[in-house]
Chain A
Amino acid sequence: MKRAVWGIALSAALAALLWAGMAAAASDAYKDNIYNPGKLKPIDSVLKVKVGQRAPDFTLKAVSGGTVTLSGFRGKKNVVLSFVPAAWTPVCSDQWPGYNIVKDLFDERDAILLGITVDNIPTLFSWTNQMGRLWFPVLSDFYPHGAVAKQYGILRSDGTSERALFIIDKKGIIRYIDVHDINERPPLEALVAELEKLP
């Protein structure tokens, strides 16, 4: 009897795992190279910043070479930070290619997009190469590992970051934060609506 209970429990757990395929449509651009981590805990960190506060400054290496410093945009551009959890995973692999065709929506609001993950530069290079030519910088928060994600309070316990969006205005003040369910892609209209609220 005990065996049967154990068996059912294990079967249910396995079935749940197999079902956990994230709702994401993988582009054929990546062939069979997308790793499916299954369904993850939606949020696994405690935010350390809030709307209305000055965004913590950082300097990170860009995949295209050189570095990018957040405060360098002060007085010039609104900044959208898009943290995605990891290269070569289902939802992340779609999110930036989507932003890649809406440069005009960012331009209209005088905004720049910075894509950030905790992956190293070579990994980000290989991965983002599959996306076509990106109009925005992709930055590596690899070493010290996830330091920027940690500073913002979006570093998960497994060392990846949350799927998070921050809008920072030209004065360097955080205007919007969306720490999204890691398993889902934030709808584009939500981000656009927030961009439209910028002065």
Chain B
Amino acid sequence: MKRWIWVVTMTVLLCWTPATAISAEPAAGQPLPDFSLAVPKDAGMRNYLGLSGGATFRIAEIKAQAVVIEIFSMYCPYCQKEAPVVNELYRKIEGGPLKGKVKLVGIGVGNSPFEVETFRKKYAIPFPLFPDGDFTIHRLVGEVRTPFFIVLKSQPSAAPKVVHAKLGAFESVDAFLNFVAESAEIR
């Protein structure tokens, strides 16, 4: 009996080795795990994010009061179905008082640049999408199912704070947008 307890303990310890460990899902109040993305080649996308140049950037560098990250995959049927709705979210942000304050990015987990580009073209996605071909970011965000939305409030001198994390489609674009503005305390 004791032997089993020992085996279980050792198993748990071995699983916790940091190098390959899978982080917990993002939750409200937590800082966003640290990762970098490639600065977009497209000048329009760079302007949208408020990036001046360089090779990579962190979410904290995006010029916005709040950032919404969509974790998606080109291969995910719900992400495909949700794509026009997320586009509408983008258009409502850009056409209303939240323009410049809330920015939207998508991260294609397990997707190659070609696959992300295929998804972008298919659904005419107007906001920046980034590939996470080797699932590095996916592991950092707890290997969530897709689509998964993370709402971040920018912090002056710290990592962006998760104010909302949600699996699956949102019922109403307007309600979600109001919620983003409220939870990120956008004035």
Residues in A with CB closer than 8 Å to B168 are: 28
Q: Is B145 within 8 A of A26, CB to CB? A: yes
Indicate if the CB atoms of B147 and A189 lie closer than 8 Å.
Answer: no
* Residues B73 and A27 in contact, CB atoms below 8 Å apart: yes
Contact B80 A102 (CB under 8 A): no
Please report the C-alpha to C-alpha distance between residue A29 and residue B75 in the assembled complex, in whole angstroms: 11
Any B CB within 8 A of the CB of A21: yes
- Bound together, the chains give a CA A199 to CA B156 distance in angstroms of 58
Is the beta-carbon distance between B20 and A24 smaller than 8 angstroms? no
Min CB–CB distance B159 → chain A (angstroms): 23
The answer to whether A95 has its CB under 8 Å from any CB of chain B is: yes
Separation of A11 and B14 alpha carbons in the complex (Å): 8
A23 near B135 (CB under 8 angstroms)? yes
Interface 1/0 per residue, A128-139 and B, CB below 8 Å: 001110000000
Contact residues in A for B115 (Cβ distance below 8 Å): 98, 187-189
Kindly list chain A residues whose C-beta atoms are within 8 Å of the C-beta of B78.
27-29
Q: Using A7-B6, A7-B10, A18-B15 as known contacts, say yes or no to A25 and B143 having CB atoms under 8 A apart.
A: yes
Q: Size of chain A's interface in residues, with CB distance under 8 A?
A: 33
Closest residue of B by beta carbon distance from A31: B145
In the bound complex, CA of A185 to CA of B147 (Å): 19
Interface string of B129-162 (1 = CB under 8 A from A): 0000011001000010111100000000000000
Contact A28 B80 (CB under 8 A): no
Contact B76–A29 (Cβ < 8 Å): yes
Q: Is the CB of A25 within 8 A of B146?
A: yes
B7 near A97 with CB under 8 A, answer no
Q: List 30 A-B contacts (CB under 8 A).
A: A7-B6, A8-B10, A10-B7, A11-B14, A12-B14, A14-B11, A15-B15, A18-B11, A18-B15, A21-B143, A25-B146, A26-B145, A27-B76, A27-B78, A28-B76, A28-B78, A28-B146, A97-B80, A100-B77, A101-B74, A102-B118, A102-B122, A131-B77, A185-B75, A185-B110, A187-B112, A188-B74, A188-B112, A188-B118, A189-B112
- Report, nearest first, the 8 A-B pairs whose CB atoms are least far apart: A11-B10, A27-B76, A94-B75, A15-B14, A98-B75, A189-B114, A14-B11, A25-B109
